[in-house]
Chains A and B, each alone.
Chain A
Amino acid sequence: MKFVDIIRTAIANSFRSKLRTGLTVIAIFIGAFTLTITSGIGTGVTSYINSQVSAIGAADVLTVTKADDGATAGDGPAPYDPEKATAISLGNGSRPGSTIQALTDDDLDTIEATSGILGVDPSVQVTPDYIVYDVSGKFELTVNAAATLTTADLASGEQLDNESATDQILLPTTYLDPLGFSTPESAIGQTVTIGIADFAGTQQQVPATIVGVQNETILGAGAGLNQPLTDRLRAVELSGTPAEAPQSYATATARFDLDASDEEITAIKADLADQGYASQTVADQIGSFETVINVIIGVLNAFAVIALIAAGFGIINTLLMSVQERTREIGLMKAMGMNGGRVYALFSTEAVFIGFLGSALGALVAVAVGSVVSNILATTVFENLPGLQVVQFAPSSIAVIIGIVMLIAFLAGTLPARAAARQNPIDALRYE
Chain B
Amino acid sequence: MTVPVLSAQNIGKSYGSGANRFDALKGVSVDIRAGESVAIVGKSGSGKSTLMHLLALLDDPDSGALLVEGTDAKKLKGKEVNRLRNQDFGFVFQQFFLTANASVLENVVLPLKIAGVDPKERKARGMEALEQLELADKAKSKAMNLSGGQKQRAVIARALVNNPKVIFADEPTGNLDTATGAVVEDILFSLNKDKGITLIIVTHDIDLAARCDRQIFIRDGLEDVTRSPEAIAKPAGAHS
Given contacts A426-B53, A426-B59, contact A337 B114 (CB under 8 A): yes
Q: How large is the interface on A (under 10, 10 to 19, 20 to 34, 35 or more residues)?
A: 20 to 34
Complex interface bits, B45-68 against A, C-beta within 8 A gives 1, otherwise 0: 000000001001011000000000
Most chain B CB within 10 A, of A342, A424, A429, is at A429
Instruction: Choose one: B78, B79, B83, B114; the contact of A333 (CB below 8 Å).
Output: B114
- By a CB distance below 8 angstroms, the chain B residues around A426 are 53, 58-59
Indicate if the CB atoms of A9 and B113 lie closer than 8 Å.
yes
Interchain pairs with CB closer than 8 A, number: 55
Specify which chain A residues have a CB less than 8 angstroms from the CB of B5 in the assembled complex. none
- Chain B residue numbers with a CB within 8 Å of A75 are none
From A2, A9, A328, A336, B111 is in contact (CB under 8 Å) with A336
B-chain residues with CB within 8 Å of residue A429 when the two chains form the complex: 93, 97
Q: Which residues of B contact A339 (CB under 8 A)?
A: 78-79, 82
A/B interface sample: 29 pairs, CB < 8 A? A1-B113, A1-B115, A5-B113, A12-B102, A328-B95, A331-B97, A332-B91, A332-B97, A333-B110, A333-B114, A335-B58, A335-B85, A335-B91, A336-B85, A337-B81, A337-B82, A337-B84, A337-B86, A337-B87, A337-B114, A337-B115, A338-B114, A339-B79, A342-B114, A424-B59, A425-B58, A426-B53, A426-B58, A429-B97
CB <8 Å contact, A2 and B116: yes
Cα distance A336–B92 in the bound complex, in angstroms: 11
B-side binding surface: helix, strand, loop or mixed? helix
A425-B58, A429-B93 known; A337+B85 contact, CB < 8 A: yes
Q: B residues touching A (Cβ–Cβ < 8 Å)? A: 53, 56, 58-59, 78-79, 81-87, 91, 93, 95, 97, 99, 101-102, 110-111, 113-116, 119
Q: How far is the CA of A336 from the CA of B164 in the complex (A)?
A: 11
| Contact residues of A between 2 and 34, Cβ < 8 Å to B | 2, 5, 9, 12, 16
Chain A residues near B79: list those with CB within 8 A: 339
Residues on A facing B (Cβ under 8 Å): 1-2, 5, 9, 12, 16, 328-329, 331-333, 335-339, 342, 424-426, 429
Chain A residues near B113 (CB, 8 Å)? Answer: 1, 5, 9
Query: Apart from A332-B110, A337-B81, A339-B78, what 20 extra A-B contacts exist at CB < 8 Å?
Result: A1-B113, A2-B116, A9-B113, A12-B102, A328-B95, A328-B97, A332-B97, A335-B56, A335-B58, A336-B85, A336-B86, A336-B114, A337-B82, A337-B87, A337-B114, A337-B115, A338-B114, A339-B82, A424-B59, A426-B53
Contacts of B115 in A (CB 8 A): 1, 337
Q: Which residue of B lies closest to A333 (CB)?
A: B114
Docked pose: A329 CA to B98 CA in angstroms: 8
- Check A336/B91 contact, CB under 8 A, given A2-B116, A16-B101, A329-B99: yes
**What chain B residues lie within 8 Å of A424 (beta carbons)?**
59
Name A337's contact: one of B83, B97, B102 (CB within 8 Å). B83
List the B residue with the shortest CB-CB distance to A6: B113
Closest 10 CB pairs of A and B: A337-B86, A337-B82, A337-B85, A338-B114, A2-B116, A332-B97, A336-B111, A1-B114, A426-B58, A425-B58
Measured CA separation A331–B110 after assembly (Å): 13
Taking the closest CB of chain A, its distance from the CB of B198, in whole angstroms, is 18
Contacts of B91 in A (CB 8 A): 332, 335-336
Q: How far is the CA of A335 from the CA of B87 in the complex (A)?
A: 11
Q: Which A residues are in CB contact (< 8 Å) with B114?
A: 1, 333, 336-338, 342
Docked-complex contact A329 and B97, CB < 8 angstroms: yes
**Chain B neighbourhood of A2, CB < 8 A:** 116
Chain A's closest residue to B91 (CB) is A335
Which residue of chain A has the shortest Cβ distance to B81 in the bound complex? A337
Residues of chain B contacted by A337 (CB below 8 angstroms): 81-87, 111, 114-115
CA distance A425 to B58 in the complex (A): 7
- Shortest A342–chain B CB gap in Å is 8
Query: How far, in angstroms, from A328 to B100 measured CA to CA in the complex?
Result: 12
Give A231 Cβ to nearest chain B Cβ, in Å.
83
Q: Which residues of A contact B111 (CB under 8 A)?
A: 336-337
Q: How far is the CA of A335 from the CA of B82 in the complex (A)?
A: 8
> For B84, what are the chain A residues with a Cβ–Cβ distance below 8 Å?
337
B96 → A minimal CB distance (Å): 10
* Chain A residues positioned under 8 Å from B110 (CB to CB): 332-333, 336
Whether the Cβ atoms of A338 and B53 lie closer than 8 Å is no
* Measured CA separation A339–B95 after assembly (Å): 23
Bound Cα distance from A353 to B173, whole angstroms:
40
Q: For the complex formed, measure the closest distance between the CB of B21 and the CB atoms of chain A, giving whole angstroms.
A: 17
- A387, B182: Cα distance in complex, Å: 82
Cα distance A28–B113 in the bound complex, in angstroms: 31
- Among B82, B93, B101, B115, chain A packs the most CB atoms within 10 A around the CB of B82
Other-chain residue from A1, A12, A328 in contact with B116 (beta carbon distance below 8 A): A1
Of listed B58, B101, B114, B119, residue having the most chain A CB within 10 A: B114
- Chain B positions within 8 Å of A1 at CB level: 113-116
The smallest C-beta distance from B191 to any residue of chain A, in angstroms, reads 18
